[in-house]
Amino acid sequence: MAKKSIDNVDVSGKKVLMRVDFNVPLDDDLNITDDRRIEMALPSIKSVIDRGGKLILMSHLGRPKGEASKKYSLAPAAKRLGEILGSPVHFAEDTVGPDASSKIEALVDGEVVVLENLRFDAREKSGDEAFSAQLAEFADIYCNNAFGTCHREHASMYGVPTAMGGKPKVVGSLVEKEIKYLSGVISSPERPFVAILGGAKVSDKIKVIDNLLGVCDKILIGGAMAYTFSLAQGGKVGDSLVEPDKVDLAKELMAKGGDKLVLPVDTHCGDAFNSDCNKQVVKAGEIADGFEGLDIGPESAKLFASIIADAKTIVWNGPMGVFEMSPFDEGTKAVAQAIADGSSTSIIGGGDSAAAVAQLGFEDDVTHVSTGGGASLSMLEGNKFAAVEVLDEA
C-alpha cells in the first residue's frame, strides 16, 4: 500500500493542489480554539513552498450542508496558517469560482492560497465529476494530506485524483505515516500483538473485533460495550449502557475469539452519572439495580496492564470508561500508563483514545496517534480506501 510522497516529486514552479484537514474547532467569535490539525499539516506544506511550489490548499470545516456560511468559513484557518508560517497566505472566497481562479493564477513560487470550504458546494460530498474536474484543472500535482477523510469518496478525495489523469497524485506526510502504521504494522506486526477496544457500543466495533480476531494475539475489551458481552454471559448489568439486540453477536464473537478475547473481571459502578455519586467496585456481571458500570475495575486494570507489558505491538481504540470524569478515568489512565511504560510499537486510533492520551500527557510516549477516528476505525476493519488506492505507487 506504499504510495509516492510529495517529498519525492519536483514541485518547483508547479501548482500543487493539496487536500488538508483544517476542520478546526471555532468559538462563537470564530477564533480557533485548537490549531493542532493545521500544525500537523505543516511538514508537507513547508516541503512544497520551501522548494518553490505554488500551493493550493483545500479542506472542509464542519457540516454546512452545501450552503455558504460565515460560521464554517476557512478564513480563520488561512489567517492562522499565515501566522504560523510567518508569511502571507492568500484566501479565496470560493472554491472553483472567479476568486479562486484569479488568486491561483496570481500565485508566485513559494506562495499559498487556501480555498473556501469545499462543503459549501454540495457536489463535494456527492463526488460530482464536473466539480472534481474543475478542481483538478487548477493543478499540476495532487497531494492527499487528509487522512481523516480518506475513507470518504468525496470529490476532493477521490474525484480530483481520478480527474488528474497522468499527472502526479501523491500522499503528504500525514497520510504516509498513517498508512505506514495502521496498514503496514497491522499487516506484519511484531508479536505479541494486542488490541485494546473500548467505547460505548459493540455495534460500532463489530467489524474491527471480527477482523482483528484473525490478526491479534489478544483483544482487551473495555468501555460500555463490555456490558453487552457481560449480558451475553448471563451477567447482571444493572442500569449500564447495553445493546440487548447485540447479545447474540457478542456470543458469536466470544465463541470465535476464545482465550483471545479478554473481558473485564470487575467493574467500577455508580448510582448516577456524576463524580459525586455513590460508588462501588463489583465483580463483572454483578452490577446491582440502580447502578451502572462507568469504568473497568482495579483488578481489570491490573490484568490489562500485565498483558500490555508483554506486548510488542499495540493498537488502542476507545476509552475504558468515562475518562472525562474522575474517578471513572482510572481504567483509561492505567491502560495509557501501561502503554507509555512499555517499549512496544503503540498506535492510538484517533477519536476519544487520542483525546485521552493527550489529556493524560502521554502523546510523546506512544509511537503514533492517528489523526482520523473514523478513518482509523475503517482501516482496522480491514477496508481498502479508494481515495488512497487511486494515488501513485511508491
Q: Which residues are catalytic?
A: 37, 201, 351, 374
Length of the chain: 394
Q: Which of 157, 181, 182 is nearest to 171 (CA)?
A: 157
Tell me the C-alpha distance between 6 and 114, whole Å.
18
- Three-state DSSP class for 286? strand
Q: What's the rounded Cα separation, in Å, for the pair 291 and 278?
A: 9
Contact status, residue 170 vs residue 141, Cβ threshold 8 Å: yes
Cis status, amide bond into 327, omega within 30 of 0: yes
b/e per residue 38-53 (b: at least 16 CB within 10 A)? bebbebbbebbbebeb
CA distances from 374 to 20, 26, 171, 219, 349 (A): 16, 21, 19, 20, 9
Tell me the residue type at 266. Answer: D
Place of cell 481504540: 317
Q: Provide the total of helices (H) and of strands (E) in the chain, helices listed first.
A: 16, 17
Cα–Cα distances (Å) from 129 to 66, 113, 166, 378, in that order, read 16, 23, 17, 25
Phi-psi label, residue 74: left if phi above 0, alpha if psi -120 to 50, beta otherwise: alpha
337 burial level (CB within 10 Å; 0-12, 13-18, 19+): middle
Query: Measured in whole angstroms, how far is the alpha carbon of residue 371 from the centre of its chain?
Result: 4
Identify the helix (H) or strand (E) that includes residue 313: strand 313-317
Q: How far apart are the first and last CA of the chain?
A: 9
